[in-house]
Chains A and B, each alone.
Chain A
Amino acid sequence: MPQSFPQDSVGIVTPQTICFDQPLPLACGRQLDNYELVIETYGTLNADASNAILVCHALSGNHHLAGYHSEAESKPGWWDSAIGPGKPIDTNIFFVIGLNNLGGCHGSTGPQSINPETGKPFGPDFPIMTVPDWVESQARLADHFGIQQWAAVVGGSLGGMQALQWAINYPQRIRHCLIIAAAPKLSAQNIAFNEVARQAITRDPDFNNGHFYENGNVPKTGLMLARMLGHITYLSDDGMREKFGRELKEGKISYDFNPQFEVESYLRYQGERFSTAFDANTYLLMTKALDYFDPAADYGHNLADAVRNTRCKFMVISFTSDWRFSPERSREIVDALVTAEKQVSYAEVDSDHGHDAFLIPNPRYMDIYSAYMKQVANDIPVTGKENN
Chain B
Amino acid sequence: MRADLDIIQEWITPGSKVLDLGCGNGELLAFLQQQKKITGYGVELDHDNITACIGKGVNVIEKNIDEGLASIDDSSFDTVIMTQALQVMYRPDQIVDEMLRIGKECIVTFPNFGHWRARGYLAFRGKMPVSKFLPYTWYNTPNIHFCTFKDFEQLCVERNIHILDRTVVDNEHKHHWSIRLWPNMLGEIAIYRITR
| Interchain nearest-CB distance for A184 vs B (Å) | 14
User: Are A347 and B39 in contact, with the CB atoms below 8 A?
Assistant: no
> Which residues on the A side are within 8 Å of B53 (C-beta)?
345
Query: Given that A338-B41, A341-B17, A341-B39 are contacting pairs, would A375 and B57 also be in contact in the complex, using a CB cutoff of 8 Å?
Result: yes
B180 interface residue (CB < 8 Å to A):
no
| Interchain nearest-CB distance for A377 vs B (Å) | 11
User: Are B39 and A371 in contact, with the CB atoms below 8 A?
Assistant: no
> Which residues on the B side are within 8 Å of A347 (C-beta)?
50, 54, 62
User: Are B72 and A374 in contact, with the CB atoms below 8 A?
Assistant: no
| Interchain nearest-CB distance for B55 vs A (Å) | 4
Tell me which residues from 333 to 388 in chain A have a Cβ below 8 Å from any Cβ of chain B: 334-335, 338-339, 341, 343-348, 364, 367-368, 371-372, 374-375, 378
- B60: contacting residue among A335, A339, A345, CB under 8 A: A345
| Interchain nearest-CB distance for B67 vs A (Å) | 10
User: How far apart sit A368 and B73, CA to CA, in the bound complex (Å)?
Assistant: 28
B51 interface residue (CB < 8 Å to A):
yes
User: How far apart sit A339 and B41, CA to CA, in the bound complex (Å)?
Assistant: 12
> Which residues on the A side are within 8 Å of B127 (C-beta)?
none
User: How far apart sit A374 and B63, CA to CA, in the bound complex (Å)?
Assistant: 23
User: Are B54 and A346 in contact, with the CB atoms below 8 A?
Assistant: no
Bitwise, B172-193 to A at CB < 8 A (1) or not (0) is 0000000000000000000000
Greatest chain B CB density within 10 A among A345, A346, A378 is at A345
How many residues from B make CB contacts under 8 Å with A? 20
User: How far apart sit A348 and B43, CA to CA, in the bound complex (Å)?
Assistant: 12
User: Are A344 and B55 in contact, with the CB atoms below 8 A?
Assistant: no
Q: Is the interface of B mostly helix, strand, loop or mixed?
A: mixed
Tell me which residues from 296 to 354 in chain A have a Cβ below 8 Å from any Cβ of chain B: 313, 315, 331, 334-335, 338-339, 341, 343-348
> Which residues on the B side are within 8 Å of A339 (C-beta)?
71-73, 76
A-B contact count (CB 8 A): 51
User: Are B57 and A367 in contact, with the CB atoms below 8 A?
Assistant: no
> Which residues on the A side are within 8 Å of B57 (C-beta)?
375, 378
- B54: contacting residue among A334, A338, A368, CB under 8 A: A368
User: Are A338 and B72 in contact, with the CB atoms below 8 A?
Assistant: yes
B145 interface residue (CB < 8 Å to A):
no
User: How far apart sit A341 and B57, CA to CA, in the bound complex (Å)?
Assistant: 16
Query: Given that A315-B54, A371-B55 are contacting pairs, would A344 and B17 also be in contact in the complex, using a CB cutoff of 8 Å?
Result: no
> Which residues on the B side are within 8 Å of A378 (C-beta)?
57
Query: Given that A341-B17, A368-B50 are contacting pairs, would A348 and B62 also be in contact in the complex, using a CB cutoff of 8 Å?
Result: yes
User: How far apart sit A338 and B42, CA to CA, in the bound complex (Å)?
Assistant: 11
Tell me which residues from 107 to 131 in chain B have a Cβ below 8 Å from any Cβ of chain A: none
Query: Given that A345-B53, A345-B54, A368-B54 are contacting pairs, would A338 and B39 also be in contact in the complex, using a CB cutoff of 8 Å?
Result: no
Of all chain B residues, the one with the shortest Cβ separation from A342 is: B59
Tell me which residues from 55 to 108 in chain B have a Cβ below 8 Å from any Cβ of chain A: 55, 57-63, 71-73, 76
B150 interface residue (CB < 8 Å to A):
no
- A338: contacting residue among B50, B51, B58, B71, CB under 8 A: B71
> Which residues on the A side are within 8 Å of B71 (C-beta)?
331, 335, 338-339
> Which residues on the A side are within 8 Å of B41 (C-beta)?
338, 344
- A345: contacting residue among B17, B61, B72, CB under 8 A: B61
| Interchain nearest-CB distance for A328 vs B (Å) | 11
User: Are B61 and A346 in contact, with the CB atoms below 8 A?
Assistant: yes
User: How far apart sit A293 and B47, CA to CA, in the bound complex (Å)?
Assistant: 32
User: How far apart sit A364 and B54, CA to CA, in the bound complex (Å)?
Assistant: 13
> Which residues on the A side are within 8 Å of B55 (C-beta)?
371, 374-375
User: How far apart sit A344 and B62, CA to CA, in the bound complex (Å)?
Assistant: 11
| Interchain nearest-CB distance for A221 vs B (Å) | 43
Binding site for A on B (CB under 8 A): 17, 39, 41, 47, 50-51, 53-55, 57-63, 71-73, 76
Q: Would you list 5 pairs from A and B whose C-beta atoms are within 8 A, ordered by A residue?
A: A335-B71, A345-B59, A347-B54, A348-B62, A378-B57
